[in-house]
Structure 1
Amino acid sequence: MRVVLTRPRPEARRWARALAARGHEVVLLPLIDIGPAPDPGALERAWAALPDRQAAMFVSGNAVQGFFAAAGGRAWPAATRAWSPGPGTSQALVAAGVAPARIDAPPAEAAQFDSEALWPVIESQLRAGLRVLLVRGAGADGRPAGRDWLAVRLQQAGVHVDTVAAYARRMPSVGAEDLAQAQRSAGDGSVWLFSSSESIANLRRLLPQQDWSRACAIATHERIAQAAREAGFGVVCPSRPAQADVVAALESFG
């Protein structure tokens, strides 16, 4: 099976090795570029205030890596929880030195890994007046950007939410050869793997006239699957984001 990997390049390479080991042909077409935090000073201030936060919520492994790159030798505060939406982020936290006992995340058997699945796990920790740090990526304007579902729920519970951007998401530089490969992959039986709605939006900007009705996609969340359907992908298969689940979904196309 030919698979088009759209993740940022470092992640895509790791997935490419795993898929190639199972005999799949891999096309690397990163549709999001990950850059450094737009405001290093904001990260420094966030680290300085971290011991006074009940918890820090990390939206992704990229958020973990960007945040800890600014640690400056600091250790994770003993009284601060680390909230994670799923196993990939949890693994990144452990790799960064956070004790597993300090991490709250959805159970391994959760149908999806996102803020909604995390909420029942952390709700009992909350009380009015607590302060929580939300660590996420920045959009094209350099400001923290992303879904606000969890921030809204926390604020409704009387929790004060501070937000910091630990990395920047950017439109990648895509050459003519990559665009030609993308056009071929729209109708040659390739399966596209999407882990972000933003990657689909970037693809549509790059190829606004492309017909995707003959293309197949695996999406690692129902919101992402809906974005692929709206883009015109003919077959869209939602999957849990764990590698084993994605591989099973991919091989179901065979």
Structure 2
Amino acid sequence: MREILIIGIGAGDPDHLTGQAIEALRRVDVFFLLDKGAVKQDLAALRQEILRRHTTGAYRAVEIADPERDRTAADYRAAVEDWRRRRADRFAELIRDELPDGGCGAFLVWGDPALYDSTLAILDDLRERDVVEFDHQVIPGISSVAALTARHRIALNRIGRPVQITTGRRLADEGFPAGVDDLVVMLDAQCAFTLFTAADSIDIYWGAYLGTGDEILIAGPVHQVADRIVTARTEARRRKGWIMDTYLLRRRLVQTTGQHQKTGQQTRDDRADDD
């Protein structure tokens, strides 16, 4: 039986790989790499650096062009499903034609394979369609969310409070979810955080190109830093041709403790006590 490994390789730093991921890399006979075009060649270079740094034996790397997705379609979900089907067809060809029976192949996934990535869903689709026989394992990685909070030196959650992860599209359509004070937003090409500049009680922790030499970090009240983020994002995208960013929106809480009132994030001493 062919074996497929889906390996999370972190948010951009080659040293983000876990020990489990490094061991998995060293088992692989064939790496399947998606070519995202000339604009994103620095992403391809990062993958090659990861292989150079962390593999020890002989392997082959097979690269194919990533299918284009229609980003102007009126029906977003239908466009994504069509793109995934075409990706699945290419994955099937790769596994069938490039990986011999008994061989070990791998897809390298930015961040964590279980968070806003299509690889697992595509492989599940292939297994259901029974177009090629294989088994697969998932090796988790450091997500952009984990990298974001680490770089800003904050916790993702607060005591007894929920955290929600959503997309920029849903944030723009539905607004800040009721009952949620800590909201992680991904895939936000339209800068939906600018919808909250009228509020003075929401902070943002934003990061782009996390874990790379191009990393940008901005934090503060949304109404004060939104324009800086939009400008930095626009300039970075123009310079590099692409951008990967994510952010945390955080409502400031008002808590009553004895005769005193605390507003905003917990202080460092508070967090130490909570531990």
TM-score calculated relative to the size of structure 1: 0.37
Larger Rg: 2
